[in-house]
Amino acid sequence: MKLEQNELSPLFSNTDIPDLFFTEYLPNANGDFIKVYLYLLFLSKYDKDIKVNDLCKKLNLPLKIIQDAIKYWEDQNLLTKKNTGFIFNSLQELELNHLYKPRVALSAKQIQASAESQRRAKTYEYINNKFFSGLMPTTWYPDIELWFKKYEFDDEVMIALFEYCFDKSALHRNYIQVVADAWSKNSIKTYNDLETYYEKQEKVNKIANMIIKKLNMSRPLSQYEFSYVEKWVIDFAFTFDIIEIALKKTTSKVNPSFDYIDKLLTDWHDRKFKTPDQVQKFLSDMKQKNKDIKQLEKKTGYQKYDQRIYDNLDQLYANKKH
């Protein structure tokens, strides 16, 4: 077969590859197919007949792979078959035709895809100019596209992701990936989702600082302690008024722990308490019950009720049988 390309001056020996190839075609292509494409592109400069069998030997690939690769790039419209062989199509021209194709010739689905492509292009441009001063390396484009597909973020969320990491002076792939994973686990896809998440986190941070102050802690909460606070505030939907009641229960403990506080709050949640008044009534009832038991012991002279005294934390749990 014969390969053709626009004639180049003999003064130049470079094989030019547009950035569009790396952003639009490389991420989804098979590695062997990319290998075949690049080598054919290189050979096309010399306008010589090339035998497929020679390609198999040169690239150390089976004939089937070579044939499948050529068919793949034909389907991608990067190669066009001619009587004498193939010609390489201009990626820039293909992209321009795609972007500026007359609207009357487009189906409803194509119009939507075109609009999404233009919006996505604006997002790339904004990220490039805002966070990379217009010099974002081309290797970032396939990564960003992968994050779009993996996390299903909308464009505003992707911009917010870069802004968050930029403000943290941590604009590198590993950190962005960690933050993206965290947002995804919190079901963030749209900007409204992100705003709701920020509101919850602000509430958690506020209550966490109040807990630190109430417990006279001279350090920030550990990751595990903070996860407890998230559980109480987000999962249980407890206000600080309820949490503070549990904090006060630690005053009688030598080494109060978050595990102890969590057991109390989990029990109150299991009992479906929603207000401080419900919790206080429960504690008051338990206190009166203890008092009644002690008075009964004195009257009967029976002293083996010690194990039933409700100062024992286990007796406060909803899942305990009395």
pLDDT tens profile 62-71: 989 988 988 8
Integer Cα distance of 48 and 63 in angstroms:
20
User: Residue 59: is its pLDDT beyond 70?
Assistant: yes
Select the highest-mean-pLDDT range: 213-227, 260-274, 281-295: 260-274
Task: Give the confidence band of 302 by pLDDT, cuts at 50, 70, 90.
Answer: low
Question: pLDDT tens digit string along 126-138?
Answer: 999 999 999 888 8
Task: Give the confidence band of 300 by pLDDT, cuts at 50, 70, 90.
Answer: confident
Instruction: State which amino acid sits at residue 91.
Output: L
CATH of 101-189, one of 1.20.120, 1.10.3470, 1.10.10, 1.20.58: 1.10.10
Instruction: State which amino acid sits at residue 131.
Output: F
How many CA within 13 A on the CB side of residue 204? 21
CA trace torsion 210, 216, 222, 224 (10° rounding): -70
H/E element holding 79?
strand 79-81
Q: Which residue ranges make up each domain of the chain?
A: 2-95, 101-189, 193-316
pTM, to two decimals: 0.47
DSSP state of 304: T
H/E element holding 283?
helix 276-300
Of 109-123, 172-186, 220-234, 281-295, the least confident: 109-123
Same fold, 2-95 and 101-189: yes
Task: Give the confidence band of 228 by pLDDT, cuts at 50, 70, 90.
Answer: very high
User: What's the confidence (pLDDT) of residue 178?
Assistant: 92
On whether the 2-95 domain is CATH 1.10.10.10, my answer is yes
Hey, which residues does 4 pair with through a beta bridge? 87
User: Residue 105: is its pLDDT beyond 80?
Assistant: no
User: What's the confidence (pLDDT) of residue 167?
Assistant: 93
CA trace torsion 33, 38, 40, 44 (10° rounding): 160
